[in-house]
Amino acid sequence: MKSAEDLNRVMEAYADMVRRICFVHLKNRHDTEDVFQNVYMKYLLHEGSFESGEHEKAWFARVTINACTDWQRALLRRRWVPLEFIAEEGAAVDGTSGEILEAVLKLPEKYRNVIYLHYYEGYSALEIAGILGKKENTVYTWLSRAKGILREKLGGEWI
Amino acid sequence: MNAFQKSMEGIRASEELKENTLRYLEAQRKRSHGRRYVLQYALAAACLFVLLAAGGYSVYIRPVSYISIDINPSIEMGINRFGRVVSATAYNADGEEILEQVSLKNISYVQAIDRLLEDGNEFLAEDSLLVFTVISDQADTILAELSADESLKTYEMLTYTSDRTCMEEAHAHEMSFGKYRAYLELVEYDESVTVEDCHGMTMRELQNRIESCGNHGESGSGEKHRERHQERHHGSGN
């Protein structure tokens, strides 16, 4: 079991990323809190060690994505209402950003992951393939399709 | 910073979320620690209990002394270090019949003998001779207790001590070591006697043979049989 110091450190380092991945996947604040806690609980119970900070970060990204997917499977019957969530974020999201986020949240789940990991975290297709456990080519395909959808909705200047 | 990054920039983990999570995890950690310790203590206690119980049980069931009771029924009792009967074996048909009717285990050997005489008195005749043969490091204590036993005083009784070698030989002949000791005594006087002959004799009959041979035989041969301690107690009536 990890020490309290470890927990504080990874909380500072990855809380925002975990929160954002949750935001990309989940419907509301309550779900986010639950998944957020689950992710850190998994870290607390994680027995292995990490080779590097990068390795650790990628672990958090993967575990968060999986936790979100699991969570949604459990809540499959609920309707997906991204706007509610954006509204919950309130002041944090203004006009243009709101549009971008709304478009991203309407993407199929697999596209949301690659868009976030690539455009926000700056991971390469190869790295994303590692995190998601997919082939690099699959990631390329998803990325280009997601970009296509966003371009259609937001125009060329979305990025 | 690209537009997407900018749009996501406002999405952050609030201090409240972080703190709540840390508090939650700390509580989980304590719970699982507590649980783990409780589990460890419980396991340790259980192991200790099993060890002690197994150790205690193995000490309890191990006989350290033996008493062979021979009248006509022949029964051997194993006695643990607490003076309790932990085994009872019959060496002839009468003995088997008694053991089917009377439970001798887990009571003191004096109680066991009293119970034998009470419940098995159909096998006792007025002139029955009770022979007690003891194998023990504390043979003297056992013999003293037997002599002091009130319920034995109405019978004629002989007590002897023996040893484990003798017991092994006796068991090889499917005979109790008490009766086998008497056979060994008789064979000193009369070499023609076989173990098989003795199987069918009561202790009274055996003793009569020994005494009649002893009286007619050469003097001085009485104590020759394997440095066996011999002591006679006759019932108060005689």
CATH number at residue A119: 1.10.10.10
Distance from CA of A58 to the nearest CA of B (A): 18
Write out the H or E segment, with its range, that includes residue B114: helix B109-119
What local confidence, expressed as pLDDT, does residue A158 receive? 66
Q: Per the domain annotation, does A86 fall within a domain?
A: no
pLDDT of residue A145: 92
Count how many pairs of residues, chain A against chain B, have C-beta atoms within 8 Å: 84
- List chain B pLDDT tens, one digit each, 238 residues: 788 888 888 888 889 889 989 988 888 888 777 777 788 888 999 999 999 999 988 989 999 999 999 998 999 999 999 999 999 999 998 899 888 888 899 999 999 998 888 887 777 877 889 999 999 998 999 999 988 888 888 888 899 999 999 999 999 999 999 999 999 999 988 888 888 888 889 999 999 999 888 775 444 333 333 333 344 444 333 3
Give DSSP secondary structure letters for B167-189. HHHHHHTT--HHHHHHHHHHHHH
A99 and A73 within one domain: no
**Per-residue model confidence (pLDDT) at position B226:** 35
Measured distance CA(B40)–CA(B106) in Å, rounded:
36
Closest among B132, B133, B138, B134 to B151, alpha carbons compared: B132
A50 and A98 inside one domain: no
**What is residue A84's predicted lDDT score, i.e. its pLDDT?**
56
Pairing of strands B156-161, B230-233: antiparallel
CB contact under 8 Å between A36 and B13, yes or no, is yes
pLDDT at A69 > cutoff 60:
yes
Domains identified in chain A, total number: 2
Do A55 and A126 have their domain in common? Answer: no
d(CA B79, CA B137): 12
Supply B41's token pair.
């203590």
B221 touches chain A (CB under 8 A): no
Residue B34 one-letter amino acid: G
Which residues 34-53 of A have a C-beta within 8 angstroms of B?
A: 36-37, 40-41, 44
Q: What is the pLDDT of residue B229?
A: 39
Residue A88 has what pLDDT?
60
- Residue B108 gets which letter from DSSP? B
Q: How far is A51 from chain B (nearest CA, A)?
A: 24
Put the strands of the sheet holding B230-233 in their side by side order: B85-90, B74-79, B65-70, B129-135, B156-161, B230-233
Q: Answer yes or no: is A137 within a domain.
A: yes
Task: Please give the DSSP secondary-structure letter assigned to residue B84.
Answer: B
CB-based contact A131:A58 (threshold 8 Å): yes
CA distances A127 to A52, A75, A122, A130, B108, Å, are 14, 29, 10, 5, 81
Same domain (yes/no): A100, A57: no
Indicate the burial class of A155 (C-beta count within 10 angstroms; 0-12, 13-18, 19 or more).
Answer: exposed
- Kindly identify which residue of chain B lies nearest to residue A159, measuring between CA atoms: B3
Q: Cα–Cα distance between A32 and A95 in angstroms, integer?
A: 23
Which of A50, A80, A110 represents a domain boundary (last residue)?
A: A80
Give B37 or A42, the one with higher predicted confidence.
A42
* Token code pair at residue A26: 């989940």
For residues B27 and B10, give the distance between their C-alpha atoms in angstroms, rounded to a whole number: 30
CATH at A6:
1.10.1740
Residues A137 and A111 in one domain: yes
Question: What does the block give as tokens for A92?
Answer: 């944090």
Assess A16–B contact: CB distance below 8 Å, yes or no.
yes
3-state secondary structure of B55: helix
Residue B68 pairs in a beta bridge with B76, B133
| Residue A138: inside a domain | yes
Tokens of A144: 């280009």
A20–chain B Cβ distance below 8 A for any pair = yes
Token pair in block for residue A79: 């309707």
- The confidence score (pLDDT) of residue B228 equals 38
> What residues pair up with B129 in beta bridges, in sequence order?
B156
Contact assignment for A20 to B25 by CB distance below 8 Å: no
Which chain A positions have a beta carbon within 8 Å of B12's beta carbon? 15-16, 19-20, 92
Q: How far is A133 from chain B (nearest CA, A)?
A: 24
8 Å CB contact between B5 and A16: no
What is residue A82's predicted lDDT score, i.e. its pLDDT? Answer: 54
Q: Do B4 and A89 touch (CB under 8 A)?
A: no
Task: Answer yes or no: do A105 and A75 share one domain.
Answer: no
CB B116 within 8 A of CB B75: yes
In this structure, is residue A31 part of a structural domain?
Answer: yes
Domain enclosing residue A18, as ranges = 1-80
Chain A residues touching B29 at Cβ < 8 A: 1, 4, 44
User: Contacts of residue A4 in chain B, CB cutoff 8 Å?
Assistant: 26, 29
Looking up tokens 């309290």, which residue turns up? A4
Q: Six-digit token pair at B172?
A: 């090889």
A143 with A116, same domain? Answer: yes
Mean pLDDT of chain A: 84
The pLDDT of residue B203 = 92
Is the ipTM above a cut-off of 0.90? Answer: no
A6 and A65 in a common domain: yes
Q: How many residues does chain A have?
A: 159
Interface check for A11 against chain B (CB to CB < 8 A): the answer is yes
The candidate with the shortest Cα–Cα distance to A64, out of A3, A131, A13, A138, is: A131
Are A81 and A27 in contact, with CB atoms under 8 Å apart? yes
**C-beta atoms of B8 and A116 within 8 A:** yes
Whether residues B22 and A115 touch (CB distance < 8 A) is answered with: no
Q: Are residues A73 and A130 in the same domain?
A: no
Total Cβ atoms within 10 A of residue A91: 6
A85 domain-assigned: no
CA distance A2 to chain B (A): 9
